[in-house]
Amino acid sequence: MKDYWNYRILARRTKSNKIEFGFYEVYYENDIPVSCTNDPISVLSYSDDYDEPIKSLKWQLEAMKLASEKPILDYDFFPKEYKAYYRKIKLKNIQDVMDKLESALEEGENSGIVENFDRTKNLKNLHAKHLKK
């Protein structure tokens, strides 16, 4: 038994009664989820050294991929699983989003514009586009 954190996808009902999905940090005590961040994570990395932020961003994307392989949790009834998820969308859609994010990061890295890559905005746009019923 141990204490740790990881990224998990949580479903959260908005004020307009829509369900939004995001990556959150989830904290565990004795391998049991006990809390999560209030808001979805922003995937950012800052450094004067070019290689370090790229490594950090790739690590974060890999951690998000791992999160996409786990059951989605319900933010409003944390730490219970979000059951409606299984009726509305397929896990493949989440993997498609992750693949597009990774591709966008690689394009940014190759073109030298990684520092201008707004992943929070892109993640929301990709979710809106790919996670529909």
63-108, pLDDT tens digit by residue? 999 999 999 999 988 999 887 644 445 455 666 777 777 777 777 6
Distance of CA 25 to the CA centre of its chain: 9
pLDDT of residue 83: 77
pLDDT of residue 54: 86
Please give the residue range of the domain that contains residue 30.
Answer: 4-130
Tell me the pLDDT tens digit for each residue of 34-74.
999 999 999 888 777 677 888 889 999 999 999 999 999 99
- The structural domain count of the chain equals 1
The predicted model scores a pTM of 0.62
- What single string gives the DSSP state of each residue in 67-81? HHTSPPEEGGGTTSB
Distance of CA 6 to the CA centre of its chain: 10
pLDDT of residue 84: 64
pLDDT of residue 132: 42
In sequence order, which residues have a C-beta less than 8 Å from that of residue 21 and are 6 or more positions away? 9, 10, 11, 12, 72, 94, 127, 131
Burial class (CB in 10 A: 0-12, 13-18, 19+), 8: buried
